[in-house]
Each structure stands twice: as C-alpha cells, then as structure tokens.
Amino acid sequence: MKLGIVGLPNVGKSTLFNAITKAGAEAANYPFCTIEPNTGVVTVPDERLRVLHEIYNSKKTVYTTIEFYDIAGLVKGASQGQGLGNKFLGHIREAAAIVHVVRCFDDANVVHVDGKVDPISDIETINTELILSDMELLERRIQKTAKSAKSDKTLQGELDLLNRINEVLAEGRSARVLADELSEEENTFVRSLDLLSYKPIIYAANISEEDASSGEENEYVKAVRAFAQTEGSEVVVVCAKIEAEISELDDEEKALFLEELGLGESGLDKLIKASYKLLNLISFLTAGEPEVRAWTIKNGAKAPEAAGKIHTDFQKGFIRAETISYDKLVECNGNLAQAREKGLVRSEGKDYVVKDGDVIHFLFNV
C-alpha cells in the first residue's frame, strides 16, 4: 500500500513524514525543499501479532507495511508547469491514496506560501491543480471515444460517463464525489482512467502542540472536516511536532508521553487506521512456532484470493481454509486440538469471505 503525502510548502508535510518513517527527509522552512519523493516504509501496528508471538514463542513475527511517499510541495499553476509542476503530479499518480497535510496552526515564524493560514484555500489550491490535470487527460479521452462511438454504438455509455465526470470537474469538484453514485462496473472503469482527483484522500489536519489535546475544537480543523464531508473523505488530526518527538521514544516511553498529553493514540496509528478504512482493507493472520504474520487484503476477498497473497500456488491449488477467529484461538491459548474439540475451527471453501482477524491455515494441491 503506497500513500503519497502532499501539501503546500511549509505546512508540516516533511516534518510529519520524518516522524512517521524516521527516514530523515529534509525539512526546512522554504518551498521546494523536497524535490524527488522520499520513501519510507512503516509497519502496521497489530497487537494481535504480539499476543500470538508469545503464545507460540514464534521465531519470527512479520507485520504488514505501508509505504509513504513525501512528495514535493505544490503551488498554484502546477498543472501548467509552475513550481515542480508535472513532476509533482506524476509522483501522485503512483500512490494508491493521498494524504493531504493541511496547516491548521498559526505561527509567525513559519512562512505560508500564500501569506496567510487558510486550510480550505490550501485544499482548493491542490484540488484545482489535480482537477485541471484530469480535465486535460479527459479531453483527449473524450475526443478519442467520441470518434470511435460513431462506428461503435456500444461505446456511447462510456462516452456519457466520461462527459459526466468532465462536467463535475468543470464545476471545480473532484471526481471522487461521484464514487458513491456509480455502479461497481462504472467505478472500475473510472479507476482505470487513473484520474488524480478520483484517488481516495485523507486530510491530515496539522495542529500546534498547544492544541494537541483539544484539536477537535480548532476552528481550522472544523472547517477541514466540513469540507471533507462534501466529498466523503477522511480527516485525521495530527501534530507533526509531537509525532517527531514520539518517534524518538521506545514503546513504553511513547505510551507515557501520550498519556501525559491526554492522547489515546499517536497520529501515525490514527493515520494507518484511516488508511485501512479508506482503502477498504482488512488483515488475516497466519500463526505457528516458525512465524506469526499479518496479511492485508481487500474487505470482501474470498478464501482463494487471500491464499494467493501468501503464494500463487495456494490460490491455484486451493482445497479449503481451516479458519478460527483470533479471539477464539486466544481463548484456547493457541491449542488448535482443543479448539477443534470445541468446534471452533471451521473448514471453509472457495466461497468463504475472509473476515478481519481470521487465523487461517490453507490446504492446497498443485
């Protein structure tokens, strides 16, 4: 899973990236400090793996990971080549989803590229550039499809959908606002267009340290939430400076520090949860003495598809999936024989839809 971190210059984007990946991306108080995208890989925290590791005394524990791309700050006119322009837009295209860092703090010592703090204006600046880039792409596609539709009437539905998307973009709205209105088939087609403004987005509202425990009361944050609701996007409130401090602590110190601040979890943990929700992802588990491991799949995936995440042979030669929920396995202290006696281990076939927290052993033959 690749997430592109974007934002106007000096909104705390690279500071947040440094904190959550400890990758040491340069962070400085001037525009275009980031030119090539820095990449950091972070593990997805999952308490279930720690518990299973202790039960089985496993030799190896493997968490799932998320890749974060720290993409250069954007300015008005990027779609026409201003700033780093098309280079910036090209990097976004590689991401599965966008994390848009929005400045929600006042600080006279940190310059704002537009001279004032206005998170909605910042959001609209970036969205406009993505929309303009999409309109240019769609214009070419519409012309090509319209020409082909003259001799192939089956393309009329596709042309109508392209024009419908273009009308939304012309109104200054992102293509993602249409997602809930489209059929599964139409959504699949629109995703194939690789429109920037159709990518799922999380707005990371970056607040000051003073607002850390009361971020939801921040007027800038309230404005961002109201905007996000209009397009069905997620909002996560973070303090990049605090995340930077947390990144230097061990797990015990981190827990104490968060408790002192009155925070239940770190911004990174909130961001990961929001990412999973946004991309409709879940994790199933495999467990034993050699290894305990989490595997990420789309919510709704069936057993053979989940098996294919481990190895393509598992999917090709799928026979069945011996499945038990994590909670039930822990109740039996990892003793599968005991779990079978209690009827807790299920034998699932190819039509079984995997659930989050399923602990699975796949049987296959190739």
CA–CA gap between residue 197 and residue 130 (Å, rounded): 6
Q: Residues 12, 103: contact at Cβ < 8 Å?
A: yes
Q: What is the mean pLDDT of residues 122-145?
A: 91
Query: Tell me, what's the pLDDT at 84?
Result: 42
Whether 341 shows a pLDDT value over 50: the answer reads yes
CA–CA gap between residue 260 and residue 36 (Å, rounded): 37
The per-residue pLDDT for range 1-14, each reduced to its tens digit, is: 789 888 887 788 88
Q: Per-residue confidence at 87, pLDDT binned at 50, 70, 90?
A: low
List alpha helices for the chain, DSSP H: 13-21, 47-56, 85-93, 119-149, 156-170, 184-192, 219-231, 240-246, 251-261, 267-278, 303-310, 312-316, 326-331, 336-341
Joined together, the tokens standing for residue 268 give 């990174």
DSSP state of 127: H
Side-chain half-sphere CA neighbours of 54 within 13 A: 6
The per-residue pLDDT for range 153-162, each reduced to its tens digit, is: 899 999 999 9
Q: Per-residue confidence at 72, pLDDT binned at 50, 70, 90?
A: low
Q: Per-residue confidence at 310, pLDDT binned at 50, 70, 90?
A: very high
Residue whose entry in the numeric block shows the structure tokens 């590229």: 113
Q: What is the mean pLDDT of residues 114-132?
A: 86
Q: What is the mean pLDDT of residues 71-82?
A: 52
Q: Which residues contact 4 (CB under 8 A, 6 or more apart)?
A: 37, 68, 69, 71, 91, 92, 94, 95, 97, 98, 99
Joined together, the tokens standing for residue 256 give 């104490």
Q: What is the mean pLDDT of residues 226-250?
A: 89
Query: Tell me, what's the pLDDT at 37?
Result: 54
Q: What is the mean pLDDT of residues 98-119?
A: 79
Joined together, the tokens standing for residue 61 give 């524990």
Query: Tell me, what's the pLDDT at 27?
Result: 41
Q: Per-residue confidence at 111, pLDDT binned at 50, 70, 90?
A: low
Helices (H) then strands (E): counts for the chain? 14, 12
Q: What is the mean pLDDT of residues 243-262?
A: 86
Q: What is the mean pLDDT of residues 210-226?
A: 88
Query: Tell me, what's the pLDDT at 202?
Result: 94
Question: Can you name the residues that pair with 19 across neighbouring β-strands?
Answer: none
Question: Can you name the residues that pair with 62 across neighbouring β-strands?
Answer: 293
CA–CA gap between residue 205 and residue 224 (Å, rounded): 7
Whether 115 shows a pLDDT value over 70: the answer reads no
Q: What is the mean pLDDT of residues 60-87?
A: 65
Whether 100 shows a pLDDT value over 60: the answer reads yes
CA–CA gap between residue 42 and residue 70 (Å, rounded): 13
Query: Tell me, what's the pLDDT at 366?
Result: 81
Contacts 24+ apart (CB under 8 A), 219-226: 220/102, 220/103, 220/104, 220/105, 220/117, 220/119, 221/104, 223/119, 223/120, 224/102, 224/104, 224/119, 224/120, 224/123
Whether 357 shows a pLDDT value over 90: the answer reads yes
Q: Residues 228, 234: contact at Cβ < 8 Å?
A: yes
Measuring CA to CA, which residue among 11, 9, 12, 57 is closest to residue 333? 57
DSSP state of 223: H
Whether 82 shows a pLDDT value over 60: the answer reads no
| Average of per-residue pLDDT values in the chain | 86
CA–CA gap between residue 329 and residue 345 (Å, rounded): 9
H or E, element range at 296 = strand 292-298
Lowest average pLDDT, out of 41-45, 112-116, 342-346, goes to: 112-116
Q: Residues 155, 144: contact at Cβ < 8 Å?
A: no
The per-residue pLDDT for range 28-69, each reduced to its tens digit, is: 333 333 334 577 788 888 899 999 999 999 999 999 888 888
Q: Residues 218, 207: contact at Cβ < 8 Å?
A: yes
